[in-house]
Structure 1
Amino acid sequence: MSGFDTDWLSLREPADKAARAPALVELLTRYLQTPGAPTILDIGCGTGSTWRALERHVPEDTNWLLLDHDPLLLEEAERSIGGDRGVAFRQFNLNDLEDLPLEGVSVVTASALFDLVSEDFCAAFCDRIASQGCGFYAALNYDGVIRWSHRHPLDDDMVDAFNRHQQTDKGFGSALGPGAGDCLERLLETAGYRVRRMPSPWRMDGNAAALQQAFLSGFRQPLREMSKHSMAEIEAWLSFRLSAIAAPESLCEVGHTDIIALPA
């Protein structure tokens, strides 16, 4: 998988936390209220944002195992979470799904991950968790919708090019990109799960200027590779979008979807 730096993950974490669908977090909380300490396996954990978002909502005796392939992100997760706190960390390549440590796991969680993987990966993953009877909660899957309150004539073209780039290989085959939510819902229902899906969009105003700037900076390379427009047009569009961040009542909405799937 393409790497993510800690600065980007730190910038996006407040927006991610605010965007999570509360009703699905509540469903997860109720599901974990069972006799005995539950265990959560968080895959693609990054610096531990899922743990920070959920640790106040799950039972105090919950055990966590956080997996990531990037040792630097794991190191930062362990440093930021600190102590034992029922949390263990392990370096793991998610391409090795057969070795995914699911024994005794109540729920597998992930954040901003499944739009980066392929349909084949999702199918194999759903089969694995269904065979073990694990619940599943996946938040912040990009859905392809980006809207700005201050419009530019090229917005739709640029978002379309960006979305096509989101479907290129990120380390797990051709990525689902905006199709992740539909694919997960279909596969999980086929595997016998009760599935709920809700929107979890980022809504960024001028108070999230640094995140908006970093988000737009991430467009440059995808647009160079995918857009039909010249570099001059791309740079002019980016310049407009960056300057619009400070405009009165400026708002950028980036669509995501959250999914919870519980054994029937």
Structure 2
Amino acid sequence: MSRPGSPVCTPDWLALREPADHTARACDLADRLADRLGAWPGARDVVVRDLGCGTGSMGRWLAPRLARPQRWVLQDRDADLARRAAAATPVPATAVVGDLADLDTLAGTDVLVCSALLDLLTAPDVERLARLCADAGCAALLTLSVTGAVALDPVDPLDDDVTAAFDAHQRRDGLLGPDAPDVAAAAFARHGYAVHRGPSPWRLGPADAALAEEWLRGRVDAACAQEPALVGSAERFLARRLDALGAGGLHAEVGHADLLALPGTVR
């Protein structure tokens, strides 16, 4: 785990995954959100808060899709990432340092967005996030939460063991891991939201070799941290997978889900 004030993910990793993230996100949910915002009377700015913004990938993807004047608040517990994100957002943006624990209110926010964040939260965290959104009456677009569904081609005898250990690692200490999409959908529904869900899988092939390698290495490291007895066999598993990747013969589909939660009234 990273320390408070440090990035959960390094800038290099965020840059490496950004193209795959942009391709994977559920465009139909973004279009539905844009339609909802387009129905607002008047032409005031939409205020979007990106929680756990990283380097601002979400803003670069979503802002051009929202056909209204916008102002973004880029919030991350790492000050440097928040500043970088604000500088790289294609609409007026402000950097804010902090995470969910520092967020007391979403008053003045029209849309709360996040990317690859929910699986790093606990069920009480997600319930609090849903309540903050409901108190403010804001919409929420929550993208790229892992589902635990991973398909590697070709298959390997150790696939299931690595998956089980990795998923257990994601659920350590009460974190939601692959349970996040279901828990978040239920939390927002309890607060009166209409929740729309869409798949947003990474589909990695030979053209994504650098990302696939880092993903594989991180996956195996986490699995071994969870189940030390796997270390020897997992090292051989990783070597086989990297050999296949280097030969252009490995494909992976990594399951994610996007959620759009809309409040009951048009603002």
1:227 CA drift (Å): 2.6
AA partner of residue 10 (structure 2): D
AA partner of residue 214 (structure 2): A
Pair 262,209 (structure 1): closer, same or farther in 2 beyond 3 Å: same
Q: Runs ≥4 in structure 1, deviation > 4 angstroms? A: none
Question: When you count helix as a share of all residues, which structure comes out higher?
Answer: 2
Q: Does 1:43 align with 2:51?
A: yes
AA partner of residue 20 (structure 1): R
Query: Where do 5+ consecutive residues of structure 2 fail to align?
Result: 3-7
1:75 CA drift (Å): 3.0
Give the alignment of 1:26-65 within 5 angstroms.
26-33=31-38, 34=40, 35=42, 36-65=44-73
Residue 133 of structure 1 aligns with which residue? 137
Residue 233 of structure 1 aligns with which residue? 233
Q: Hey, what's the Cα distance between the residues in 2 that align with 1:259 and 1:128?
A: 17
SS of 1:209 mapped into structure 2: helix
Residue 20 of structure 1 aligns with which residue? 25
Is the 1:32–1:106 contact (alpha carbons within 8 Å) kept by the matching residues of 2?
no
Q: Hey, what's the Cα distance between the residues in 2 that align with 1:127 and 1:223?
A: 33
1:60 CA drift (Å): 4.6
Q: CA RMSD in A?
A: 1.6
Give the alignment of 1:145-224 within 5 angstroms.
145-169=149-173, 174-224=174-224
Q: Hey, what's the Cα distance between the residues in 2 that align with 1:219 and 1:57?
A: 32
Q: Name the TM-score, length of structure 2 as normaliser.
A: 0.91
Is the 1:143–1:181 contact (alpha carbons within 8 Å) kept by the matching residues of 2?
yes
Q: Hey, what's the Cα distance between the residues in 2 that align with 1:60 and 1:189?
A: 27
SS of 2:94 mapped into structure 1: strand
1:71 CA drift (Å): 1.5
AA partner of residue 50 (structure 1): M
Is the 1:116–1:176 contact (alpha carbons within 8 Å) kept by the matching residues of 2?
yes
Q: Name the TM-score, length of structure 1 as normaliser.
A: 0.92
SS of 2:101 mapped into structure 1: coil
AA partner of residue 72 (structure 1): D
Residue 125 of structure 2 aligns with which residue? 121
1:79 CA drift (Å): 4.0
1:105 CA drift (Å): 1.2
SS of 2:67 mapped into structure 1: coil
SS of 1:4 mapped into structure 2: coil
1:31 CA drift (Å): 1.5
Greater mean deviation of Cα atoms: 218-227 or 24-33: 218-227
Q: Hey, what's the Cα distance between the residues in 2 that align with 1:249 and 1:239?
A: 14
Deviations along 1:86-133, one digit per CA (max 9) or x if unpaired, are 211110132133x24x22211100000001100010111111111111
